[in-house]
Amino acid sequence: MTKLTYIAHDGTRFEVEAENGSTVMENAIRNAVPGIEAECGGACACATCHVYVDDAWTALVGEPEAMEEDMLDFAYEVQPNSRLSCQIKVRDELDGLVVTVPERQG
C-alpha cells in the first residue's frame, strides 16, 4: 500500500492508504476528500479532479500528457504543478505523495 496525503482547501489533511494501480482521483472519492468532483468518472473529460502536486513530488509524478494538458484548459487557476488526479496512477515511488485540492473545480 502507498500512502497519499490530500490537503483540502481549508488546510485539512487527509492521509489515505492507496493500492498501486489505482488513481489519485479514485482514492480521493473513496475517502470522501472534499473538493474532488470527478464529474466524468475518470475519463479525462471534465477537469473537475484538478490538484496541485506538492513541489517536492512534481518531478516524480511527471508532466501531463497532451490530452490531459488540453483538458487542463477547462480548469481554473492552473499552475505549473497542476495535474488531473484521474491521470496519476499510484505506484511504489509515489509513497508519501502530497497533493493540494484547489478552492474550486471547473
Partner 1 sequence: MSDITHTDVLIIGAGPIGLFAVFELGLFDMRCHLIDILDRPGGQCAELYPEKPIYDIPGYPVVGAQELVDKLLQQIAPFKPGFTFNRMVTALERLEGGGFRVTTDENEVFEAKVVVIAAGGGSFQPKRPPIPGIEAYEGSSVSYSVRCMEEFRGHDVVVVGGGDSALDWSLNLQPIARRVTLVHRRPEFRAAPDNVNKMHALQEAGALDLVIGQVSALSGEGGKLSSITVKGPESEVVVPCTRLLPFFGLTMKLGPVAEWGLHLHENQIPVDTEKFETSEPGIFAIGDINWYPGKLKLILSGFHEAALMAQAAKHVISPKERIVFQYTTSSTSLHKKLGVPD
Interaction of residue 63 with partner 1, rule CB under 8 A: no
57-77: string of b/e by CB count within 10 Å (b at 16+)?
beeebeebeeebeebbeebee
Binding mask 10-49 toward partner 1 (x if CB under 8 A, else -) reads: -----------------------------xx--x-xxxx-
Under 8 Å between Cβ of 88 and 21 = no
For partner 1, give the closer residue by CB, 3 or 89.
89
Placement of cell 487542463 in the chain:
72
Task: Give contact residues for partner 1 (rule: CB under 8 A).
Answer: 39-40, 43, 45-48, 69-70, 72-74, 76-78, 103-104, 106
